[in-house]
């Protein structure tokens, strides 16, 4: 049985400059609760930008995909604990020890922070996995990394929506599952290989969907947000 919590929309704020990002938030307004800040803007503007977006009333998903030796990742989590961040990514393929150290740092310094283990990037397909000597299927690799991550205490996962059903079947409604690679009908797929519509992702058990370009490139981003939210929760 899947979680009864409604699936929520997160805007991937993947823009070139701080000014462009804040202008986009001005255009969208307060109807969108969640914003994802990724490597591009975090590298350019750092923690102060995270605080500035949070001060506007948004919940922050910080998508840094941490992957390093256990001590370094744990120290990074400790540093991020000082920021108004509610979701943070790290790579599941960093291994059990790295994940366990990260979770201990989270428990010690930011118990309200949810760590999300990235399984297989949505830009990757079977051929690309084989190119890095991963011979198993995409689905098996996702389930393997999910199992390893959850056993290490991590609170949630990031995966393609195509893996939602097998993950929910195996792990139930408990873990947070965030799905990027979401494309409303008629949208360009860009470089994403494994995609799904918002409504289908919600039906399959996604906790949060991440949408970027279909909103950012829309003539009216606020209307695009509202359309996706209506698709996620048609009875609302």
Q: What is the pLDDT of residues 217-230, one digit of tens each?
A: 999 999 999 999 99
In a domain, 174, yes or no: yes
Residue 126 predicted with pLDDT over 90: no
What is the number of domains present in the chain? 1
The tens digit of pLDDT for each residue in 52-96 reads 999 999 999 999 999 999 999 999 999 999 999 999 999 999 999
**Most confident range, picked from 56-60, 191-195, 201-205:** 56-60
Residues 210 and 102: their CA atoms lie apart, in Å, by 23
Q: What integer pLDDT is reported at residue 131 of this predicted model?
A: 79
Cα-only R_g, the chain: 17
In a domain, 43, yes or no: yes
Distance of CA 61 to the CA centre of its chain: 7
Listed in sequence order, the residues at least 6 apart from 156 whose beta carbon sits closer than 8 Å to its beta carbon are 87, 114, 115, 116, 117, 175, 176, 177, 178, 207
What is the CATH classification number for the domain harbouring 70? 3.20.20.70
Domain ranges, residue 199: 8-232
User: Is residue 53 within 8 Å of residue 37, measured between CB atoms?
Assistant: yes
In a domain, 118, yes or no: yes
Average pLDDT over residues 24-36: 94
In a domain, 138, yes or no: yes
For helices 164-171 and 138-151, what crossing angle results, to 10°?
40
Residue 170 predicted with pLDDT over 70: yes
In a domain, 1, yes or no: no
In a domain, 213, yes or no: yes
**Annotated catalytic residue, options 65, 75, 151, 185:** 65
The answer to whether 65 is a known catalytic residue is yes
3-state secondary structure of 228: helix
In a domain, 3, yes or no: no
In a domain, 219, yes or no: yes
């Amino acid at each position: 049985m899947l979680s009864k919590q409604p699936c929520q929309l997160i805007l991937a704020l993947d823009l070139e400059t701080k000014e462009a990002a804040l202008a986009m938030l001005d255009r969208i307004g307060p109807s969108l609760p969640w914003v994802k800040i990724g490597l591009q803007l975090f590298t350019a503007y750092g923690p102060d930008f995270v605080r500035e977006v949070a001060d506007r009333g948004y919940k922050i998903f910080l998508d840094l995909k941490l992957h390093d030796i256990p001590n370094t990742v744990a120290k990074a989590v400790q540093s991020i604990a000082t920021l108004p961040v509610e979701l943070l990514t790290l790579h599941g393929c960093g291994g059990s020890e790295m994940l366990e150290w990260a979770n201990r740092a989270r428990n010690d310094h930011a118990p309200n922070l949810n760590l999300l283990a990235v399984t297989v990037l949505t830009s990757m397909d079977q051929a690309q996995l084989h190119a890095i000597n991963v011979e198993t299927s995409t689905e098996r690799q996702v389930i393997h990394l999910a199992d390893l991550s959850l056993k290490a205490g991590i609170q949630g996962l990031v995966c393609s929506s195509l893996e939602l059903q097998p993950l929910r079947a195996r792990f139930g409604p408990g873990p947070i599952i965030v799905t990027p690679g979401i494309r409303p009908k008629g949208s360009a797929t860009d470089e994403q290989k494994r995609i799904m519509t918002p409504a289908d992702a919600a039906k399959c058990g996604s906790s949060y969907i991440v949408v970027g370009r279909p909103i950012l490139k829309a003539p009216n981003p606020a209307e695009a947000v509202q359309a996706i939210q209506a698709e996620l929760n048609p009875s609302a």
